[in-house]
Amino acid sequence: MARVVVLGAGVAGHTAAMILRRKLSRAHEVVVVTPNRLWNWIPSNIWVGVGLRTKEDVTFELGPVYARAGVRYEQAKAVALHPAGDAEEPKPYVVFERTDAEHRGEREKLTYDYLINATGPKLNFGATPGLGPEANTHSVCTFDHAEKTALALGEAIERMKKGEKLTFLIGTGHGTCTCQGAAFEYVFNLEFEIRRAGVRDQARIIFITNENELGDFGVDGMQLRVGGYVIPGKIFAESLFAERGVEWIIGAHVRKVDPGKVEYETLDGEIHEQEFDFAMLLPPFRGADLKAFDAEGKDVTAELFAPSGFMKVDADYKPKPYEEWRAEDWPKTYRSPKYPNVFAAGIAFAPPHAISRPRSTKNGTIVAPAPPRTGMPSGVMGRTVALSIVELIEHGATAKVHEASLANMGAACVASAGASFWSGTAASMTMFPVVPDYERYPQYGRDLGHTTGEIGSAGHWIKEILHYVFLYKAKGHPGWWLIPE
């Protein structure tokens, strides 16, 4: 009998756990350790943040789903890894701390044969003084944050209806943020709702981002074939902002947020201030800050994890200049080189480097969008890692493991720009591969036949359908496994 422990139940972890349970016989045990009681379809948090969806619409209880599927579920937060066991316990194990109300704070050991680290991001609001819902800005990173943000937006709209003019600041709250797509979606949904409320003239909306240009999205932007030309995605992104009257600030590192005011540094090294009445700024991400110890109890965290807290896997982490970055630097199996029974999937793995060219300001402040690893790629990684573990359990340590490099994987993304059946729109984008490969595609790094983007109501309909389809899949309803990640 083998025990597979999955840390985290986001897109990657939940996908991995469900596939493992489906593929492995009941003689083997699948355990999910996650601090959360609820599963959250995070892409729809954007709509919660503008008051169009509720927490109940985007979440469900994990316990009953795992009970039905035959997955053991521990509501707890992993705090330490002992991948070589120790003097008392020869098997590798993980230490977790319970987070349910009844047993909060209690620590336990759980041995494993295989481990998937899918702990996702830690929202690092602390990186920027004054950032976050506990301080001076809003967030849509969790359903709780998004619900509070929607309430604040509702109040702002009421103030504008009474004649006040307000400034809205939306974007990234640090120079190293990722997930610019979420900020892009939120600013357009907010603008759409303000327009729908009939108070657009009362609102000044500003987008602030660490991207070097709009449409970069942390993937070095996209080139699109349009009308016989190959055009940078930036041109289209800028046109979408301009036609909505949304102003933008690019290449910005937010230094601090005071009540009603941000201080930010731009690539030219200048320090600026921007006042606001309402701000939704995304935080940078960190890894879950797990500690790792060897059999003698020595702290080996630095061997397993990058300084960012993300887990090192089969990538080339040798520091090198941007010009020498190669597609093959990126991991294929997501397996720890030090402990082959440990994998990391989704946001939890440490990228070898950024995808967008990193920049620094004249003062040396780094402004470098981190590479996105969410959504479809995250699900594909979870699936790949699960299938590899099934092979290893069924055919032994020499079995061939599965591969899914971001340099050989595409992504399909639908970014909402306003939610309404008739007048709502969304940008539907595909790209292949996610990490540009200038050896296979020398001119643009990507296959332009599969790198596309367009905006329209069709995108919004797809986004609506995906909301229901992915919740259905995540709930493990009949035929869930037929739905791709």
Partner 1 sequence: MTQPTHAITRPNEALKHAMKATPLVLFLRTFFLYQIVRFVFINLRMLTMIWKSHG
User: Which chain residues interact with partner 1 by CB under 8 A?
Assistant: 206, 212, 235-236, 238-239, 241-243, 245, 247-251, 266-268, 270, 272, 274, 322, 357-362, 366, 376-377, 380, 383, 403-404, 408-412, 422-423, 425, 428, 430, 432, 450, 452, 454-459, 461-462, 484-485
Q: Kindly state the smallest distance separating residue 458's Cβ from partner 1, in Å.
A: 4
Phi and psi angles of residue 352, each rounded to the nearest 5 degrees, phi first:
-65, -30
Report the run of H or E that residue 98 belongs to, with start and end: strand 93-98
Cα angle for residues 16, 20, 21 (degrees, 5° grid): 120
- Helix 143-161 vs helix 180-196: angle between axes, to the nearest 10 degrees? 30
Considering beta carbons, is residue 158 or 322 the nearer one to partner 1?
322
Considering beta carbons, is residue 37 or 359 the nearer one to partner 1?
359
Considering beta carbons, is residue 68 or 272 the nearer one to partner 1?
272
- Pairwise CA distance, residues 198 & 401, whole Å: 56
Q: Kindly state the smallest distance separating residue 337's Cβ from partner 1, in Å.
A: 22
Decide: 365 and 128 in contact? Cβ < 8 Å. no
The residue among 307, 328, 278, 312 whose CA lies nearest residue 139 is 278
SS3 assignment for 137-197 = CECCCCHHHHHHHHHHHHHHHHHHHCCCCEEEEEEECCCCCCCHHHHHHHHHHHHHHHHHC
- Pairwise CA distance, residues 285 & 287, whole Å: 7
Q: Kindly state the smallest distance separating residue 155's Cβ from partner 1, in Å.
A: 24
Considering beta carbons, is residue 83 or 377 the nearer one to partner 1?
377
Considering beta carbons, is residue 35 or 284 the nearer one to partner 1?
284
- Pairwise CA distance, residues 281 & 169, whole Å: 8
CA distances 186 to 140, 365, 433, Å, are 8, 27, 26
Considering beta carbons, is residue 112 or 248 the nearer one to partner 1?
248
Q: Kindly state the smallest distance separating residue 222's Cβ from partner 1, in Å.
A: 13
Considering beta carbons, is residue 337 or 358 the nearer one to partner 1?
358
> Which residue bears the tokens 């981190």?
370
